Amino acid sequence: MGDGVRGRTVVIAGATSASGHAAARALVDAGATVIALGRRDDALAPLRELGARTAVCDLADAGEVSAFAATLTAGRTRVDGLLHLVGGWRGGGGLPGQSDEDYRALEVGLAALRHITRALWHELTSSPAARTAIVSSTAVARPLAGGANYAAVKAAEEAWARAMAQGFAKDARDRGVAQTAASVIFRVRALEGLEEELARAFVGLWDAEACVANDTIVGLGASN
Ligand SMILES: NC(=O)c1ccc[n+]([C@@H]2O[C@H](COP(=O)([O-])OP(=O)(O)OC[C@H]3O[C@@H](n4cnc5c(N)ncnc54)[C@H](OP(=O)(O)O)[C@@H]3O)[C@@H](O)[C@H]2O)c1
């Protein structure tokens, strides 16, 4: 498991949480080059110790994301994968408790996903084996009033990931070549304790055919 990712270059967007560390470790161990993105250089230091390259980038800022992508182009660094982790959780208080402030904070995850996937689209569709993944929530399938903001944003992220899946398939069709890129959605109820499972599942995506993995929803933990 994991041989397919050897030699690939993978961006982890929002890499500074426990799940980002686990994914970076698994990717490096499997022979991939990792580029870990985060807002603060000090928070990225442990990723460097794991063997990842790092870059400071506020993924909520489209200009910063474009500038990051331009450094890759300038350095002729190709990209074969993206694990999008910017998210977080806010909620409670039933439906009346779904504040605009919480919604705006959660929406950063969607904005970050839009920015980084637009910026890396050319690299991903040019890669001989690209895999992208987001981490969504079981709340999309079963939204609760106290988590309505969260479920709405996660549903929007899933729609974006599925649109990417269609885009990958269409790009291959239009060019008359076999599909090499896949967009996958992981769904989890609570991530704590499942970081290694997420990391293994992400690394394993390179062992599946792109057209089989593309546009799939993979449950993690008890949601599997
Ligand atoms: N935790 C759970 O139980 C759970 C359940 C279901 C789904 N999920 C989803 O799983 C994913 C990963 O969750 P997680 O708990 O590991 O991570 P997270 O805390 O939601 O976010 C990952 C990292 O993103 C960074 N980040 C936030 N805003 C950023 C920005 N504008 N630019 C760059 N980096 C930014 C954060 O670092 P700093 O804030 O330190 O900069 C954080 O370490 C998220 O999408 C989350 O919604 C989580």
Pocket of ligand 1 from Cβ distances under 6 Å = 14, 16-17, 19, 37-40, 43, 58-60, 85-88, 108-109, 112, 135, 137, 188, 190-192
Residue 170 CA, ligand 1 centroid: distance in Å: 30
Number of domains composing the chain: 1
> What is the residue type of 191?
L
Rounded to whole angstroms, the Cα distance separating 152 from 191 reads 19
**The pLDDT of residue 43:** 98
Whole-number Cα distances in Å, 11 to 58, 178, 197 = 14, 23, 18
Asked whether residue 1 carries a pLDDT value surpassing 80, the answer given is no
CA-134 nearest atom, ligand 1: 45
Domain range for 212 is: 3-223
Is residue 99 left, alpha or beta, with left meaning phi > 0 and alpha meaning psi from -120 to 50?
beta
Give the model confidence (pLDDT) of 40-85 as tens digits. Answer: 999 999 999 999 999 999 999 999 999 999 999 999 999 999 999 9
Q: Report which of 99, 86, 187, 76 is spatially closest to residue 135, judged by C-alpha positions.
A: 187
Residue 23 CA, ligand 1 centroid: distance in Å: 13
Give the model confidence (pLDDT) of 140-199 as tens digits. Answer: 999 999 999 999 999 999 999 999 999 999 999 999 999 999 999 999 999 999 999 999
Q: Report which of 183, 210, 206, 162 is spatially closest to residue 3, judged by C-alpha positions.
A: 206
What does pLDDT average to over the chain? 96
Asked whether residue 18 carries a pLDDT value surpassing 80, the answer given is yes
Residue 26 CA, ligand 1 centroid: distance in Å: 18
Ligand 1: which of 37, 86, 117 to mutate, most ligand atoms within 8 Å of CB? 86
> Length of the chain in residues, anyone?
224
**The pLDDT of residue 224:** 53
Rounded to whole angstroms, the Cα distance separating 143 from 137 reads 10
The CATH number for 182's domain is: 3.40.50.720
Per cent of the chain over pLDDT 90 is 97
Rounded to whole angstroms, the Cα distance separating 200 from 26 reads 7
Full-model pTM: 0.97
Q: What is the mean pLDDT of residues 94-120?
A: 98
Residue nearest to atom 41 of ligand 1 (CA): 39
**The pLDDT of residue 222:** 75
Rounded to whole angstroms, the Cα distance separating 32 from 123 reads 16
Neighbours of 163 (CB within 10 A): 13
Q: Which of the four pLDDT bands, split at 50, 70 and 90, describes residue 34? A: very high
CA-139 nearest atom, ligand 1: 6
Structure tokens at 62: 């489209």
